[in-house]
């Protein structure tokens, strides 16, 4: 078919599509009108009851296809109806004191509803990409540069990543570059001698490492534009057709390029293939609440649902690492964008607006490290939030030229999400405004709250559960947002007042937490908690003394109690548990043979890390299986397609009835051995994929609340202990100096 | 004093033989009345009986012009002097109730008596419990309240000399005790209940000749006892529709002056005086050409243009009619009554003169005649005393007639706020009326001192006056849902109940601290409401004359009087007077026709059965020709809300299921009969066949005479207040009215589409819910198609949607 024929044949379809779009718009308007009708509360009860009954009864039938859209339509209708009612019927105020908190609460709710609707749009058709094999003719394949960016990460971490990068399979030429921003000339020449010496030592070790591993070391004069500047500097000195961006803690699997490059061959306008950020260690919240592997990770919502949804709209977001980009496209915009501190999202926005495409491969191809401490977590999230708000303010996707409408909506959703600290803080404070001061910031009676508010909030929870049922437990987002909000709010306000001011802050990675401690960021939570307890007491007082407000107090009290539980659970998170192992162990279930002297002991590998492994053997007889014994672990290395024989030392033995658990340490004697260990531990993406697809237990709304209570009570105990110690010391110290003898005081201290 | 049904000993203050005589005379008309019920009433008979109004009556007990004996007796139930027809309940150890009755200066009261029928508690202690009657603050009678004789029917003579023209105060005071020792003054067994329906006030006296000026119109024309309550309106011999309209304006003006009491009208054409010698003798008076023979016994209004009145009036008066003309003169043949002349040189002037009469508060000239040069009436003019308020506004209580005032002393007190809401207001369910009350109260009151707030007698809110130091409040906010208010007249009562902190027989009680002030600066704030109401609704009509006045604006109205006989015309004017009272103004631009209208107008029809044509009756909820099957009210029916069913049980109703179920409330008894409801007056309201969303209110009866008679009955408060539904049938008996809702409702008002939809959806939520589901399913389907197309365009068939 010639081009003209194709155009002709497409015309009627396009016409039909336009007509249908107009009909669609008409129905949308009808729906909004129907949702905005104000009726008697009894009619609203019937409506909300019917819709909720539908949502409950039809849930299972509506998970796929057409009915899925109906389901989302019902939830959208309830949300639009609620916000319409809030807008037109509940904003009356009598007291100026009520006005500001009332409007703030309304805006927070409006924000939440808009975000929910945008979320529905984004996730309306999440797609799974099929594997696209690379060309069998190596000559036709594009050349690839792998950029591993580093600033101050530990040597061991970088070594592992470089080793793994070297093992990436690709028939065409691959160049690996370590882009070291920790060894720039400015750093080496720093006026601060300590900084200069540290930089020089680090730079030297990095150069030696690269030399040893035969990869390229690149650095630059200064640290301008941080990570984006680092990559841009490298782009000018390299020439590969495609560029792989990896953070230094993102260890690629051997099939990273095999699973991504094929897409570039198919679509010449493709600028980005993004893969998931798959973390093998718990983030501080998972770690401190001891829910790692039992609960889906927080980022799974983004990588297992949102990115797939964004992909449908050609809006896959560049996440800064674990992605492949086309150099020619980057050249069109003169390399990475540098306006914001989230260079990744901004670069994607600029490339999308140039008409290039992006896609998302929903298969973990790297194994990375999540932040270890709460403060590192907050630092990272602050940067993300700041960057997205900068994009919203400086390159507003609604008006940025070149984007399609759907891309605008996707970017709007991505950016707007990061305004959540405003809403979250308001939702926290709003019930206290009523309980403490009696401010009427929600101008509705109890019946109306039951008829409009409860169905809406129930539907919002249902939406989250419906869209993200496999990747998020109820209330977990609230917990994450709560923890971030208190700190993010200030940064957010600063960014809004001066969008160009924020500076790039590197997220600390590879930290060791040697002992349990309370996060230094906990103090504001104490103030909030005291206020919440006060508000709770006032609520009880109000309940007893204002009989006419009892139902309202109960409703607001319920809301407040949820906030209180979130705060308690936050205390659990802030009680940081130690983390001694820098290289986290990864669960495995592979057969192996442990050779100790002349014995070949069959065993199964329970977990692995680049430092060692844990195995289980049912051999209860062998007397050599004791700590200090050396041996060889013979195991199939699927990534390298060989049987690896790794020298190990038995470090621990734990006897069970049916066998023994042995803790092994890899005793790496040479580079080949270390490379094999890296290949064994990080090279096999199928292991990540299996792990990813593993379905943690689903949790309902009620269970979510119960878990909040459980986490709050269990993990905030440490806080109490910590606080009571502090208080005791505060009281005891002056007392002891007066009463006790000096030597007793000394002894006590 | 005469004891009718009691064996109690009465401390008689004065006994007069005149009483016995008068009571004997009073019994005569009741005999006449019972006889009259068996035969059709003629206008003449009604005239002679003084047109019994409801239970109130007045009669010429002894009247002989020639002999000069001129005694009239007026008899009113006590409830006529109360805003609401209800018994008076006097509670606690000490209580009183004051009634005010107006007396005209046209009567010289020679005898007055009060028949008091009451029931007291059987716990009362005879030695200490008593009832006292005070007339104009002077005690005129005392009765013991006895436990062994709880039901009392007593006639008390009131000193006639204490009764003055104007308002007189009749106070019923009780002291109630159940023990000689210390007692609880608020004990629930301390009560006495006055039957205000059967308790009556009777005044007997002589009507005085009057020589009244126009400036005194309010004194001689109004509800005061002694003023005749019936009027004869005299038209020229050749009368047409314009005369009916002018007569209606006059009737309306009289109605306005009578406030709450409905005057009755007789229409007739003025007759020329026969030229006899006797007539020649009176040729010199103002009405030299008018036959005055039949004009005695009631006040008269003669209207017509100067040319039309030429045969009846003296040349002197005719010469005075140079413009719109009003004149008032004693009836030469019986100067106890007057003749008012409403005239002009042209029809327009005549209308202007009739219109001017409706300005009831206007200071007319202190002369017998006056020329009205101009009347400038704004389009939406209000004539009277009602406080019409608009929604979406705020008013101070002062603006609504409640001035700052203090009540003091123990017990119950009351402030009353009266205003009129639009008849067709419709607001969202959550719309509230805010009362921002400014008030203060004294210190050291008992902590059960309260301020009750009642809306239309229903308890709404209470404010505890509990601060021992006393308190001053500014803007105390009370919200009352707008839907709790009635269309039309509303009453909010603020009832401070001030209780001393100490009590008991042996303790001195200070009540100077028991003070409460309600400030006129308090605010009542009304929310936005639109205009939307369901019709037909005779009840709404009876309270607000809706839809003939909508949103305060007069609507184009036609009054069709399909029979031009005197009785039908009289009935029309009687109705129009009532109409003016309810609407607080006349139907200024109403069109009166002897036929049905052809254009888009609201319609009132006053006509006998046989004049009603098929087109009208085909729209009526019931047929009157006797050949059809119509719902006959066998008993008082309550049109209840449909019984709410369960969530799922209700569903099949939508699709015509659940047919086997009986209706929630048995409603209509269908009777096939071949005769008209002759014994009834019939009022019907229904959608007009002549216009879009227009209404017809039809008043009819078998004949013009009956129509007149039943119209006189229906305009009386007891029956008028019972009008409801779309069909009402009644007789002259004040308790006999049956109402039903038979026809379909239709909705009128200038509400926007949003409000109309809101109203309909609130009534029928299921259709909305189904619509929403259909909409969502359709939208999802279209979305699916669009998404699928886009998906194929961008991704091809290799990519799959997430499962």
Amino acid A373: pLDDT: 79
Residue A125: closest C-alpha in chain B:
B801
The neighbouring-strand residues paired with A252 are: A366
Q: What pLDDT, in 10s, does the model give residues A356-376?
A: 999 999 999 999 888 877 788
Distance CA A400, CA A339 (A): 14
Per the prediction, chain B carries an average pLDDT of 79
Q: Is B222 left (phi over 0), alpha (psi -120 to 50) or beta?
A: left
Please report residues of B whose CB lies closer than 8 A to that of A84: none
Residue A26: closest C-alpha in chain B:
B779
Per the prediction, chain A carries an average pLDDT of 85
Contact check, Cβ <8 Å, B430/A308: no
Q: Do β-strands A270-274 and A357-360 pair in parallel, antiparallel, or remain unpaired? A: parallel
Contact check, Cβ <8 Å, A39/B768: yes
Distance CA A222, CA A257 (A): 31
Q: Please, which pLDDT band fits residue A486 given cuts at 50, 70 and 90? A: confident
Structure tokens at A112: 């939440």
Contact check, Cβ <8 Å, A34/B800: no
Q: What pLDDT, in 10s, does the model give residues B678-695?
A: 668 899 999 988 877 889
**Residue A484 clears pLDDT 70, i.e. is over it:** yes
Distance CA A230, CA A227 (A): 5
Report the SS3 class of residue B175.
Answer: strand
Which residues of B have a CB under 8 Å from any CB of A? Answer: 428-430, 477, 647, 754, 757-758, 761-762, 765-766, 768-769, 771-773, 775-787, 789, 791, 794-795, 798-803
Contact check, Cβ <8 Å, B430/A445: yes
- Could you say which of A34, A51, A69 has the minimum Cβ distance to residue B780? A69
Give the pTM. 0.71
Contact check, Cβ <8 Å, A73/B791: no
Contact check, Cβ <8 Å, A50/B773: yes
Helix (H) or strand (E) holding A50: helix A41-57
Amino acid B6: pLDDT: 33
- Could you say which of B758, B783, B803 has the minimum Cβ distance to residue A38? B758
Amino acid B734: pLDDT: 64
**Residue A476 clears pLDDT 50, i.e. is over it:** yes
**Residue A184 clears pLDDT 60, i.e. is over it:** yes
Distance CA A483, CA A377 (A): 10
**Residue A745 clears pLDDT 60, i.e. is over it:** no
Please report residues of A whose CB lies closer than 8 A to that of B798: 130
Distance CA A41, CA A53 (A): 18
Q: How far is CA B202 from CA A261, B34, B72, in A?
A: 111, 20, 10
Contact check, Cβ <8 Å, A28/B798: no
Q: What percent of chain A has pLDDT over 90?
A: 41
Same fold flag, A141-371 and A586-693: no
The shortest C-alpha distance from B746 to chain A (Å) reads: 19
Please report residues of A whose CB lies closer than 8 A to that of B795: 127, 312
Contact check, Cβ <8 Å, A37/B757: yes
| Strands (DSSP E) found in B429-541 | 432-441, 450-455, 458-464, 471-481, 488-498, 515-518, 523-525, 530-531, 533-535
Distance CA B527, CA B429 (A): 11
Contact check, Cβ <8 Å, A43/B772: no
The shortest C-alpha distance from B777 to chain A (Å) reads: 6
Distance CA B354, CA B372 (A): 10
Q: Do β-strands B591-593 and B557-560 pair in parallel, antiparallel, or remain unpaired? A: parallel
Q: What percent of chain B has pLDDT over 90?
A: 34
Residue A41: closest C-alpha in chain B:
B429
Contact check, Cβ <8 Å, A70/B761: no
DSSP string, B617-675: HHHSSS--SSSSEEE--SS----PPPPP--TTTTHHHHTT--TTSPPSS----EEE-SS
Amino acid B651: pLDDT: 47
Check whether domain A586-693 has CATH 3.10.330.20, yes or no: no
The shortest C-alpha distance from A542 to chain B (Å) reads: 18
Contact check, Cβ <8 Å, A20/B773: no
Contact check, Cβ <8 Å, B780/A54: no
Q: What pLDDT, in 10s, does the model give residues B650-680?
A: 445 544 444 444 443 334 444 444 444 566 8
Report the SS3 class of residue B52.
Answer: coil
Contact check, Cβ <8 Å, A127/B766: no
Q: What pLDDT, in 10s, does the model give residues A71-118?
A: 999 999 999 999 999 998 888 776 778 888 889 999 999 999 999 999
A187-195: average pLDDT: 89
Contact check, Cβ <8 Å, B769/A129: no
Contact check, Cβ <8 Å, B775/A27: yes
Contact check, Cβ <8 Å, B754/A37: yes
Please report residues of A whose CB lies closer than 8 A to that of B757: 37
Q: What percent of chain A has pLDDT over 70?
A: 92
The shortest C-alpha distance from A547 to chain B (Å) reads: 14
Q: Is B295 left (phi over 0), alpha (psi -120 to 50) or beta?
A: alpha
Check whether domain A141-371 has CATH 3.90.550.10, yes or no: yes
Residue A73: closest C-alpha in chain B:
B776
User: Please, what's the b/e burial string for A332-354 (b: 16 or more CB within 10 A of its CB; e: otherwise)?
Assistant: ebebbbbbbbbbbbbbbbbbbbe
The neighbouring-strand residues paired with A603 are: A592
- Could you say which of B754, B778, B802 has the minimum Cβ distance to residue A126? B802
Distance CA B290, CA A355 (A): 103
Amino acid B242: pLDDT: 92
Contact check, Cβ <8 Å, A23/B782: yes
Distance CA A407, CA A493 (A): 26
- Could you say which of B780, B791, B802 has the minimum Cβ distance to residue A308? B802
Interface A:B, Cβ pairs < 8 A = 123
Report the SS3 class of residue A99.
Answer: helix
Amino acid B518: pLDDT: 96
Please report residues of A whose CB lies closer than 8 A to that of B754: 37-38
Q: Which of A39, A406, A445 has the most B C-beta neighbours within 10 Å, making it the best mutation to test the interface with B?
A: A39
Contact check, Cβ <8 Å, B761/A39: yes
Please report residues of B whose CB lies closer than 8 A to that of A13: 789
Amino acid B582: pLDDT: 87
| Strands (DSSP E) found in B567-636 | 591-593, 602-606, 629-631
Residue A14: closest C-alpha in chain B:
B789
The shortest C-alpha distance from B156 to chain A (Å) reads: 51
A22-29: average pLDDT: 93
Q: Do β-strands A357-360 and A251-252 pair in parallel, antiparallel, or remain unpaired? A: unpaired
Report the SS3 class of residue A168.
Answer: coil
Domain boundary assignment for chain A: 3-124+419-576, 141-371, 586-693
**Residue A581 clears pLDDT 60, i.e. is over it:** no
The shortest C-alpha distance from B525 to chain A (Å) reads: 12
**Residue A26 clears pLDDT 90, i.e. is over it:** yes
Distance CA A739, CA A727 (A): 18
Residues of chain B with pLDDT under 70: 1-70, 275-285, 376-386, 503-508, 551-553, 625-679, 734-735, 796-803
Amino acid B50: pLDDT: 32
Please report residues of B whose CB lies closer than 8 A to that of A89: 428, 430
**Residue A310 clears pLDDT 50, i.e. is over it:** yes
Helices (H), B37-149: 43-49
Residue A45: closest C-alpha in chain B:
B765
The shortest C-alpha distance from A74 to chain B (Å) reads: 7
Contact check, Cβ <8 Å, B765/A124: no
Q: Please, which pLDDT band fits residue A148 given cuts at 50, 70 and 90? A: very high
Interface pTM, i.e. ipTM = 0.86
Q: Quick one: which of A465, A468, A471 has its CA closest to A693?
A: A471
């Amino acid at each position: 078919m010639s081009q003209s024929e194709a155009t002709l044949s497409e015309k009627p379809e396009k016409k039909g599509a336009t007509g249908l779009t107009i009909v669609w718009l008409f129905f949308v308007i009808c729906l909004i009108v129907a949702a905005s009708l104000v009726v008697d509360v009894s009619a609203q009860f019937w409506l909300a009851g019917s819709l909720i009954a539908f949502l409950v009864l039809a849930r299972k039938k509506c998970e796929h296809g057409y009915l899925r859209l109906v389901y989302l339509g019902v939830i959208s209708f309830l949300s639009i109806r609620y916000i319409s009612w809030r807008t037109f019927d509940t904003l009356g105020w009598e007291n100026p004191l009520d006005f500001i908190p009332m409007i703030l609460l309304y805006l927070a709710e409006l924000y939440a509803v808009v975000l929910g609707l945008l979320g529905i749009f984004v996730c309306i058709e999440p797609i799974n990409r099929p594997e696209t094999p690379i060309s069998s003719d190596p000559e036709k394949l594009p050349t690839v540069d792998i950029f591993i960016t580093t600033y101050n990460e530990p040597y061991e971490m970088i070594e592992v990543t470089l080793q793994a990068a070297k093992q990436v399979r690709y028939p065409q030429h691959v160049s690996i570059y370590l882009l070291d921003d920790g060894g720039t000339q400015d750093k080496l020449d720093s006026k601060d001698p300590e900084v200069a010496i540290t930089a020089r030592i680090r730079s030297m070790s990095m150069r030696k490492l690269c030399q040893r591993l035969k990869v390229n070391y690149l650095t630059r004069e200064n640290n301008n534009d941080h990570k984006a500047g680092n990559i841009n500097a490298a782009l000018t000195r390299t020439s590969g057709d495609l560029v792989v961006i990896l953070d230094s803690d993102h260890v690629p699997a051997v099939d990273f390029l095999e699973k991504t490059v094929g897409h570039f061959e198919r679509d010449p306008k493709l600028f980005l293939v993004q893969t998931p950020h798959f973390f093998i260690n718990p983030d501080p919240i998972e770690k401190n609440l001891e829910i790692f592997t039992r609960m889906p990770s927080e980022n799974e919502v983004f990588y297992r649902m949102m990115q797939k949804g964004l992909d449908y709209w050609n809006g896959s977001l560049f996440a800064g690492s674990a992605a492949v980009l086309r150099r020619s496209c980057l050249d069109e915009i003169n390399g990475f964008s540098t306006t914001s501190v989230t260079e990744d999202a901004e670069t994607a926005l600029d490339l999308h607006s140039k008409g290039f495409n992006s896609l998302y491969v929903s298969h973990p191809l790297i194994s990375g490290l999540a932040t270890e401490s709460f403060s590192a977590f907050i630092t990272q999230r602050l940067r993300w939030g700041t960057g997205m708000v900068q994009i919203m303010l400086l390159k507003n996707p609604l008006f940025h030229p070149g984007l399609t409408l759907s891309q605008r909506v996707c970017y709007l959703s991505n950016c707007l999400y990061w305004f959540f600290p405003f809403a979250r803080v308001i939702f926290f404070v709003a019930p206290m405004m009523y309980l403490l001061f009696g401010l009427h910031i929600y101008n509705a009676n109890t019946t109306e709250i039951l008829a409009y508010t409860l169905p809406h909030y129930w539907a919002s929870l249902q939406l989250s559960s419906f869209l993200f049922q496999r990747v998020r437990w109820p209330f977990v987002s609230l917990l994450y947002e709560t923890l971030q909000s208190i700190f993010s709010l200030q940064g957010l306000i600063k960014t809004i007042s001066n969008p160009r001011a924020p500076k790039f802050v590197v997220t600390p990675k590879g930290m060791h937490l040697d002992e349990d401690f309370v996060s230094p960021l906990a103090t504001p939570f104490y103030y909030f908690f005291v206020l919440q307890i006060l508000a709770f007491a006032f609520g009880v007082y109000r309940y007893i003394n204002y009989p006419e407000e009892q139902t309202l107090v109960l409703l607001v009290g319920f809301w407040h109690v949820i906030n209180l539980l979130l705060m308690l659970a936050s205390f659990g998170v802030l009680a940081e548990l130690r983390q001694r192992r820098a290289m986290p162990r990864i669960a495995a279930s592979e057969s192996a043979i442990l050779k100790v002297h002349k014995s070949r002991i069959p065993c199964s590998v329970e977990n692995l890390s680049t430092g060692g492994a844990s195995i289980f053997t049912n051999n209860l007889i062998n007397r050599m299986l004791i700590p200090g014994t050396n041996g060889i672990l013979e195991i199939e290395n699927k990534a390298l397609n060989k049987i690896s024989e790794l020298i190990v030392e038995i470090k621990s033995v734990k006897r069970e009835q049916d066998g023994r658990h042995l803790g092994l340490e890899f005793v790496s004697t040479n580079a080949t051995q270390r490379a094999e260990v890296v290949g064994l531990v990080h090279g096999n993406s199928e292991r990540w994929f299996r792990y990813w697809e593993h379905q943690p237990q689903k949790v309902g709304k009620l269970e979510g609340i119960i878990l909040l209570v459980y986490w709050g009570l269990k993990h905030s105990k440490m806080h109490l202990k910590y606080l009571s110690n502090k208080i005791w010391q505060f009281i005891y110290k002056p007392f002891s100096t007066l009463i006790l003898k000096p030597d007793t005081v000394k002894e006590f201290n | 004093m005469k004891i009718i049904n009691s064996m109690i000993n009465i401390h008689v203050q004065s006994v007069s033989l005149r009483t016995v005589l008068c009571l004997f005379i009073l019994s005569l008309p009741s005999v006449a009345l019972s006889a009259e019920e068996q035969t059709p009433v003629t206008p003449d008979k009604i005239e002679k009986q003084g047109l019994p109004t409801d239970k109130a009556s007045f009669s010429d007990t002894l009247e002989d012009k020639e002999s000069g004996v001129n005694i009239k007796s007026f008899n009113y139930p006590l409830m006529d002097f109360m805003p609401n027809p209800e018994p008076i309940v006097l509670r606690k150890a000490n209580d009183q109730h004051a009634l005010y009755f107006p007396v005209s200066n046209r009567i010289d009261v020679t005898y007055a008596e009060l028949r008091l029928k009451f029931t007291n508690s059987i716990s009362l202690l005879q030695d200490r419990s008593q009832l006292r009657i005070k007339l104009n603050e002077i005690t005129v009678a005392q009765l013991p309240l006895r436990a062994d004789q709880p039901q009392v029917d007593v006639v008390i003579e009131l000193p006639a000399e204490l009764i003055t023209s104007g308002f007189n105060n009749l106070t019923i005071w009780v002291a109630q005790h159940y023990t000689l020792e210390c007692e609880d003054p608020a004990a629930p067994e301390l009560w006495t209940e006055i039957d205000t329906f059967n308790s009556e006030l009777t005044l007997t006296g002589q009507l005085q000749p009057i020589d009244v000026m126009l400036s005194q119109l309010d004194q001689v024309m109004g509800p005061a006892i002694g003023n005749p309550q019936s009027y004869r309106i005299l038209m020229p011999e050749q009368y047409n529709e314009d005369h009916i309209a002018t007569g209606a304006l006059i009737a309306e003006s009289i109605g306005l002056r009578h406030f709450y009491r409905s005057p009755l009208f007789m229409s007739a054409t003025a007759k020329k005086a026969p030229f006899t010698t006797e007539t020649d003798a009176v040729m010199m008076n103002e009405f030299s050409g008018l036959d005055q023979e039949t004009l005695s016994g009631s006040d008269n209004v003669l209207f017509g243009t100067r040319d039309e009145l030429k045969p009846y009036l003296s040349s002197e008066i005719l010469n005075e009619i140079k413009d719109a003309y009003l004149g008032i003169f004693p009836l030469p043949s019986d100067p106890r009554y007057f003749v008012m002349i409403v005239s002009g040189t042209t029809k327009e002037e005549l209308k202007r003169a009739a219109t001017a009469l409706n300005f009831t508060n206007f200071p007319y000239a202190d002369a017998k005649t006056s020329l009205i040069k101009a009347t400038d009436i704004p389009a939406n003019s209000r004539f009277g005393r009602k406080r019409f308020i608009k929604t979406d506004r705020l008013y101070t209580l002062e603006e609504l007639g409640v001035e700052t005032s203090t009540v003091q002393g123990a017990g119950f007190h009351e402030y009353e706020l009266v205003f009129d809401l639009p008849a067709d207001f419709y607001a969202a369910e959550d719309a509230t009326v805010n009362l921002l009350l400014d008030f203060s109260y004294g210190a050291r009151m008992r902590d059960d001192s309260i301020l009750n707030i009642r809306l239309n007698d229903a308890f709404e809110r209470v404010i505890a006056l509990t601060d021992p130091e006393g308190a001053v409040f500014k803007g105390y906010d009370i919200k009352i849902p707008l839907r709790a208010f009635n269309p039309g007249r509303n009453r909010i009562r603020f009832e401070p109940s001030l209780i001393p902190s100490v009590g008991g027989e042996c303790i001195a009680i200070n009540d100077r601290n028991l003070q409460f002030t309600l400030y006129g600066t308090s605010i009542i704030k009304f929310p936005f409401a639109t205009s939307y109401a369901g019709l037909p609704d005779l009840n709404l009509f009876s309270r607000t004359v809706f839809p003939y006045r909508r949103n305060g604006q007069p609507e184009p109205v036609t009054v069709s009087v399909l029979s031009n006989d005197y009785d039908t015309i009289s009935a029309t004017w009687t109705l129009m007077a009532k109409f003016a009272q309810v609407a607080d103004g006349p139907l200024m631009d109403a069109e009166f026709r002897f036929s049905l209208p052809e254009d888009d107008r609201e319609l009132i029809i006053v006509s006998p059965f046989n004049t009603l044509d098929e087109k009208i009756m085909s729209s009526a909820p019931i047929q009157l020709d006797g050949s059809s099957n119509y719902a006959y009210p066998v008993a008082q029916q309550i049109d209840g809300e449909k019984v709410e069913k369960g969530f799922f049980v209700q569903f099949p109703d939508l699709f015509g299921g659940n047919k086997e179920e009986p209706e929630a409330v048995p409603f209509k008894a269908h009777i096939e009969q071949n005769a008209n409801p002759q014994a009834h007056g019939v009022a019907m309201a229904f959608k007009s066949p002549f216009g879009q969303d227009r209404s017809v209110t039809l008043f009819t009866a078998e004949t013009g005479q009956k129509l007149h008679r039943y119209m006189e009955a229906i305009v009386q408060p007891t029956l008028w207040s019972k009008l409801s539904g779309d069909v009402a049938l009644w007789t002259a008996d004040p308790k006999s009215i049956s109402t039903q809702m038979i026809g379909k409702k239709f909705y009128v008002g200038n509400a926007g589409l949003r409000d109309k939809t809101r109203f309909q959806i609130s009534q029928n939520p299921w259709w909305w819910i189904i619509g929403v589901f259909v909409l969502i399913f359709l939208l999802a389907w279209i979305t699916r198609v669009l998404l699928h197309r886009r998906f194929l365009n961008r991704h091809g068939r290799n990519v799959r949607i997430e499962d």
